[in-house]
Amino acid sequence: MTTSTETAFSSDPYVSRLADHWEAVDRADPVIWNDRYAGPLDRKQLEHFQQDGMFSIEQLIGADEADELLATAQQLAAEATPHDESIVIEPGSGAVRSIFRVHQTSERFRALCRDSRLVDAARQILGSDVYIHQSRINFKPGFSGKEFFWHSDFETWHMEDGMPRMRALSMSLSLTPNHSFNGPLMLVPGSHRTYIRCAGETPDQHYRSSLKKQEYGVPSREALRLLIERGGGIRAATGSPGSATFFDCNTMHGSVANLSPDDRTNLFVVFNSIENKLVEPFGGKPPRPAFLAER
């Protein structure tokens, strides 16, 4: 007799959170979709993305431009109100953790998110025109910035937003120095080739708690060991202001708390293919708000 869970697995290669155990399955989609669009990325960068699910650019924008963007980010944080859902406040300290949808609310960030240095690279990898699925600034103040636990963005975007396929990517742009001690982005090379079906069931309005501390849709320790062993370790995306890391939507990533005196502030922009538009969430819950997932 076929169970409802088995039926879901057979109809959706990326179903998750339907059982009390985790599973690792092979990716069912291309990494680089086609060569329809020429772009700024060279063969070596594309090979890194295909193999590792990521690559970094030492200076995507200039240091002066990064400083101007940092000043804008700090102003947005200073003007933030706790009643705005797109502003996430650190539990305990009251500091701003994240500001979402900056491509809509800030003229300076809107211009950057439309910049060909970002957009053309995304089009080249995803093989189509693109739109912004999500944008945010993540803040990690010195000594107090909290961690972001390991996760695959696509698992959440599929189950809670209704993103059908792995045809999206993220760009993390350093607005401050990112070094080994202030909680840099960490990624597991090669993890984009394996999808982790997570255990558990999504609570109602999960985003209200997950933006501060995610507990559902996160991989088990055993799954993480598997991915890290397969990929040969963990890679930290360190760099000076203006450096950037592009990574696949299914690349496992996270970051530790900032125990240094140096603030760490990064801009994240998520590009999704226009041929991969969102449908009803695959987890059976209502869609998350537009500041988390542009529809």
Alpha carbon distance 292, 239 (integer Å): 27
Residue positions counted in the chain: 295
Is the predicted pLDDT of residue 10 greater than 80, yes or no? no
Alpha carbon distance 129, 122 (integer Å): 8
- For the chain, domains (ranges, CATH) are 18-25+36-79+88-178+186-265 (2.60.120.620)
**pLDDT for position 136:** 97
Are 159 and 16 within 8 A, CB to CB?
yes
**pLDDT for position 34:** 82
Q: How far is C-alpha 41 from the geometric centre of its chain's CA atoms?
A: 20
Tell me what the mean pLDDT of segment 57-75 comes to: 97
Q: In this predicted structure, which of 81-90, 135-144, 170-179, 219-228 has the lowest mean pLDDT? A: 81-90
Strands laid side by side in the 168-174 sheet: 54-57, 244-248, 168-174, 264-273, 130-140, 96-100, 87-89
Phi/psi at 149 (5° precision): -70, 160
Torsion of Cα atoms, 70 then 74 then 80 then 86, to 10°: 20
Categorize the per-residue pLDDT at 7 as very low, low, confident or very high, splitting at 50, 70 and 90. very low
Are 168 and 135 within 8 A, CB to CB?
no
**pLDDT for position 81:** 83
Is the predicted pLDDT of residue 224 greater than 60, yes or no? yes
Angle of helix 116-126 versus helix 43-52 axis, rounded to 10: 60
Sequence-separated (6 or more) residues with CB below 8 Å from residue 174? 66, 239, 240, 241, 242, 243, 244, 266
* Residue 19 CB coordination number (10 Å): 17
**What residue has token string 């900032």?**
258
Categorize the per-residue pLDDT at 206 as very low, low, confident or very high, splitting at 50, 70 and 90. low
pLDDT tens digit sequence for 115-124: 999 999 999 9
Q: In this predicted structure, which of 91-95, 149-153, 219-223 has the lowest mean pLDDT? A: 91-95
**3-state SS of the chain: helix, strand, coil percent to 5?**
30, 20, 50
CA angle, corner 14, sides to 8 and 19, nearest 5? Answer: 55
pLDDT averaged over the chain? Answer: 91
Is the predicted pLDDT of residue 241 greater than 90, yes or no? yes
Sequence-separated (6 or more) residues with CB below 8 Å from residue 218? 149, 150, 151, 198
Is the predicted pLDDT of residue 5 greater than 70, yes or no? no
Torsion of Cα atoms, 40 then 45 then 51 then 53, to 10°: -70
Alpha carbon distance 153, 252 (integer Å): 8
Q: Which of 173, 74, 165, 175 is nearest to 128 (CA)?
A: 165
